[in-house]
Amino acid sequence: MIRLLLIVLAGALSIGAVSAVPTPPPAYRAVETGADVARGDSASAGDSASAIKERLAGDFALVSVAGLPPVPGRLMQSAGSVVFEPIEEGDPVVLPLFQMARDSRRASAVRLLQVVESDPDSRFLFHLGNAVIETAAPGILRDLALEPSRVQDLDSAWTASDRTLAPGVDTAAAIAIIRELETSAYADSIFSVLGYPAHPIGLVDERGIRAGRLGEYLTRRDSIALSPSYITSRAQLRHALAHELAHRWLRENPESAASLSASLQPIRDSLRYGYADREEQLAEALAFAVHFLQSTASNETADPELLASYERLVPGTGEAVRMLITFPAYALHPLGGGIPMSRVSD
Ligand SMILES: [Zn+2]
């Protein structure tokens, strides 16, 4: 299953000004991944003009919103918020830089997670609300990580309401969204990789909804259920399908599942879906792997270095990619044979 990602932000942190970038929490540490990941044997892809290290310069960032796989886009500060505009598809996401603490003072919503040393620039990973942001140009995020009290000087934060794909009570609308998904080219491609359930996709029932589930794999029926009344974007709907199908695939392929599980490094981010839950982490790693392979399916976007960013969020994604890319569905993938074999999680 996949649940709503509940983000519990740390309380007000007022550590005052410090002279260097603050130390990341123990769950994270600086790692050198650039060399391992960039120098796979796929020189052509690594040399691509869209190499992620170039794209992460300026106001570019890779952002994972609400636990979803990371997507590239631009970050802009707007008063007390940061707005993320995805390059490819999807609506802008507004991320307030602070929240109101109990004493009506502002508490910074920015937390430095990790500094990744890579050539030529360091990259910074931040939590901002329910997003994880990776960027080489941290700007206001770095300022607030250094000096959280600066949130008092910002203009008001604004936010966008999270509208769901279907109104809560409208079952017909929810079914229509599911049927549209089920007959889409996206679903075709995911089914061709991870297999076809015996029954059409259904709706998560009342009990599942009460438990906060966005999707379920129902083993006995061999069917998937989704909940468009609680899902807020097409990207989340697609990811929920990939995640539930991954559960099915893991069940149908116990040997491969055991092999993926054997090399699995735990998720370090306690706010990330799959934390401290091996089965969920495995399903999430497979769903992230499918997203990576789709995102890098054209020559322009086939950047193997991007995999390190996925792996940092959900360890196990790299191994899952190396397995999936041998499947017939990816026979023509531009990274075929070009995924570096070294582990990138630590
Ligand atoms: Zn799950």
321-346 residue pLDDT tens: 999 999 999 999 999 866 654 444 44
What is the whole-number distance in angstroms between the Cα of residue 51 and the centre of ligand 1? 32
User: Are 15 and 145 in the same domain?
Assistant: yes
Residue 31 pLDDT > 50, yes or no?
Answer: no
Q: What is the pLDDT of residue 6?
A: 39
User: Are 138 and 224 in the same domain?
Assistant: no
What is the whole-number distance in angstroms between the Cα of residue 309 and the centre of ligand 1? 21
What is the whole-number distance in angstroms between the Cα of residue 279 and the centre of ligand 1? 7
User: Across residues 136-144, what is the average pLDDT?
Assistant: 93
Residue 245 pLDDT > 70, yes or no?
Answer: yes
165 domain residue, yes or no: no
Residue 21 pLDDT > 80, yes or no?
Answer: no
pTM, to two decimals? 0.83
* 155-192 pLDDT per residue, tens: 999 877 778 999 888 999 999 999 999 999 999 999 99
What is the whole-number distance in angstroms between the Cα of residue 173 and the centre of ligand 1? 24
User: Are 29 and 144 in the same domain?
Assistant: yes
How many domains does one find in the chain?
2
Tell which phi-psi region holds residue 203, choosing left (phi > 0), alpha (psi between -120 and 50) or beta: beta
User: Are 220 and 101 in the same domain?
Assistant: no
What is the whole-number distance in angstroms between the Cα of residue 215 and the centre of ligand 1? 8
274 domain residue, yes or no: yes
Q: What is the pLDDT of residue 90?
A: 84
User: Across residues 290-303, what is the average pLDDT?
Assistant: 92
User: Residue 206 sits in which domain range?
Assistant: 171-330
Task: Of 5-9, 80-84, 218-222, 339-343, give the lowest mean pLDDT range.
Answer: 5-9
User: Across residues 194-221, what is the average pLDDT?
Assistant: 94
344 domain residue, yes or no: no
**Burial (Cβ within 10 Å: 0-12, 13-18, ≥19) of residue 300:** exposed
User: Which residues contact residue 122 at a Cβ distance below 8 angstroms, ignoring those fewer than 6 apart?
Assistant: 115, 116, 136
Degrees to nearest 5, angle at CA 204 with 244 and 90: 65
User: Across residues 254-261, what is the average pLDDT?
Assistant: 97
Preceding amide of 70 cis, omega within 30: no
